[in-house]
Homo-oligomer: A and B are copies of this chain.
Amino acid sequence: MRVEKASSTKIKNTKQRELILNELRKLMSHPTAEELYKIVVKKNPKIGLCTIYRNLETFYKQGLVGKICTKPVRYDGDMSKHSHIRCTSCGKIGDIFFNVPINPVEIQKLGYKLQGYKIEITGLCSSCIKKQKREE
């Protein structure tokens, strides 16, 4: 008889979970939990904000959604390979589709096992560039 490993808790499919994931996937933006809550609560007025928080984290751990560690945290329903650019002036986050070659072997040499990587580019978005010019 041997001791089992800590049980991998089985995730249950609830209506809330489905609703949250669907609504996030519909969006082209990168909403915060709060922002997504405001959308979701229209379809299910009984849902609680903490359910959004909980499920977004679960989705992220399952690899179903992306997470952008700004403050507040933002989530991304689009899992295609892309990077983000954040405007340092207004905070807006845009998508950038281009590849950066990261070599897993290089990482292995350093003693790490590569799991993923994220590139966060910072810059000024077009509307903030215009705004800045007007102020000069």
- Chain A interface residues toward B at CB < 8 A: 5, 69-71, 85, 87-88, 94, 96, 98, 100-102, 106-107, 110-126, 129, 135
Contact = CB atoms under 8 A, between A and B. Distances in A.
A129 B117 CA distance: 18
A119 B120 CA distance: 6
Closest 4 pairs between A and B when the two form their complex, measured CB to CB: A111-B126, A112-B123, A117-B121, A113-B124
B88 A112 contact: no
Number of identical monomers bound together in the oligomeric complex: 2
A120 to B, nearest CB: 5
A122 B117 contact: yes
A123 B108 CA distance: 10
Contact of A122 (B115, B119, B129): B115
A125 to B, nearest CB: 6
21 contacts: A69-B120, A87-B112, A88-B115, A96-B107, A100-B101, A100-B102, A102-B119, A102-B121, A107-B121, A107-B123, A111-B126, A111-B129, A112-B121, A112-B125, A113-B123, A113-B129, A115-B122, A115-B123, A115-B124, A117-B120, A118-B120
